[in-house]
Structure 1
Amino acid sequence: ADGGTGSVTAEGATFHLLRVGEQLYLKADAAFWNKEDGKSGEDGSDTAAADKLDGKYVKVPTGDPSYKKFSGFTDKDLLLDGLLTLHGSLATDGHHEQSGVRTIRITGDGGSGGKLDVSLEGKPYPLRLERAGGAGTLSFSSWGKDFALKEPAKDETVDYGKQLPTS
């Protein structure tokens, strides 16, 4: 309830999210920031900002459009309600294994509507979701384990104020 942490990989780029209370931070390497800018950086001028953000936690202002988009990844209830959806007729698709844990797979429309692997060990937590239509795969781990939430140190943080730069 006090926050969350994790990583998101999309189109070959990975970024890390950390939310402590209402404060959201995004951390990525320079390549991610260059890609986000949509600039090539061939002349070296546009890579300077990305280099400054490399490996730093960027404080995402609550009013920035990115805040709503990314904070949902750190809210367990919102994340699960919005993502754990299979489309079409539901059926089981046998026993499988995810990260060494035995699972049962549930499919929507024979797999075209998504696939969900649920743990058969301990509580039946979702462990892996292949979203319908090739919309991505989500892996869930560390269920029931506590983790420390603390804001990053000032020297690890960049604060842009009310809105992130668009370029």
Structure 2
Amino acid sequence: MLSKRLACTAAIGLLLATGATACGDNDKATATAAAAAAPKLDTEKLSAEEIQKQAKDALSGASSVKVVGAINKDAEKISVDLAVDTKGQCKGTMSVPGAGKFELIGDGKQVYLKPDTEFLTSVTEGKNPQAVELLKGRYISGVQDDPDMKELTTVCNLKELTKTFGGDDRATNITKGSAGTVNGAKTFSVKSKDSSGGEVTLHVATEGKPYPLRIEKGGKDGGQMDFTEIDKPLTVQAPPADQVIDYSLFKDRVKPA
């Protein structure tokens, strides 16, 4: 249950692999500079496939991005607020309503999790309050050494995460959508169907670099993700050693009493 509860948060990668790629930048200063440096996206001349490719290429050159949104996986709604970069650094939070949330930190060497009391109570099924009291406020290290947690730790590296973007090669019916706005930025949408038949909508910036700004997916495993703060440097520090507990010990302690 523990690894499933934690690894389910990697559904961000699953959403981004549904036939479109996504990220974005709603920082006004960055958007203004990009608009001055690059031409507008010619949505009339470009095909839907070409617009999508330009968005993916723009994302591939990003050094960092912040992901904010919510998606559904295995009947659970997962909320994400996470900044990641190409150095393996990350920081932010992930949560499941009714099951708590945890802080996620990656310093390029280790990935640390800091679950809140609600999360600890959930994974112990409310049967081990002593463990909850002992572990609360602690960071968990060594997560990346567990094969079951690989998807979660991949989320902490933008280089690895971007490999999943557009990973559903069975996406079909890629068509142009319409002009719009996302977080105040002008966009143009591209629509497609993923392998399960769900509709995916990618919103691409039309001014400056054609960064994707939002991705939406319909259906029971759908959701929405916004991508902001592209190329904003991350400053991440590992937590103090006296606040860290090894993942193997954590798994042993959270077993229901």
Q: TM-score range by the shorter chain?
A: 0.7 to 0.9
Of 52, 72, 80, which aligns to 2:162? 80
Normalised TM-score (structure 2): 0.53
Instruction: Give the 3-state SS of the residue equivalent to 1:124 in structure 2.
Output: coil
Distance in 1 (alpha carbons) for counterparts of 2:206 and 2:136: 40
Of 48, 60, 70, which aligns to 2:152? 70
Instruction: Give the 3-state SS of the residue equivalent to 2:145 in structure 1.
Output: coil
**Counterpart residue type for residue 121 of structure 2:** N
CA RMSD of the aligned region, Å?
3.0
Distance in 1 (alpha carbons) for counterparts of 2:167 and 2:248: 36
Distance in 2 (alpha carbons) for counterparts of 1:15 and 1:146: 22
| Greater RCO, 1 or 2 (C-alpha within 8 Å, sep 6+) | 2
Of 196, 212, 226, which aligns to 1:139? 226
**Preserved contact between residue 87 and residue 157 of structure 2 (Cα < 8 Å):** no
Q: CA deviation at 1:73?
A: 0.7
Q: Which residue of 2 aligns with 1:114?
A: 200
Instruction: Give the 3-state SS of the residue equivalent to 1:114 in structure 2.
Output: strand
Distance in 1 (alpha carbons) for counterparts of 2:159 and 2:94: 17
Deviates more, 1:24-33 or 1:78-87: 78-87
Distance in 2 (alpha carbons) for counterparts of 1:71 and 1:54: 21
Q: How many residues align?
A: 162
Over residues 38-76 of structure 1, what are the superposed CA-to-partner deviations in whole Å (9 max), with x where a residue is unaligned?
x1x2xxx51332344334321134322354121111111
Over residues 74-116 of structure 1, what are the superposed CA-to-partner deviations in whole Å (9 max), with x where a residue is unaligned?
1113222314457321122222333333322221139933122
Distance in 2 (alpha carbons) for counterparts of 1:138 and 1:120: 18
Q: Which has the higher helix share?
A: 2
Q: CA deviation at 1:138?
A: 2.6
Structure 2 matches for 1:1-167, cutoff 5 A?
Answer: 1-5=86-90, 6-11=92-97, 13-37=100-124, 39=125, 41=126, 45-84=127-166, 87-109=171-193, 112-131=198-217, 133-135=219-221, 136-161=223-248, 164-165=251-252, 167=255
Identity over the aligned pairs, expressed in percent?
A: 27
Distance in 1 (alpha carbons) for counterparts of 2:202 and 2:244: 37
**Preserved contact between residue 216 and residue 225 of structure 2 (Cα < 8 Å):** yes
Normalised TM-score (structure 1): 0.76
Task: Structure 2: give runs of 5+ residues left out of the alignment.
Answer: 1-85
Q: Which residue of 1 aligns with 2:15?
A: none
C-alpha change, 1:25 and 1:133, in structure 2 (3 Å) is same
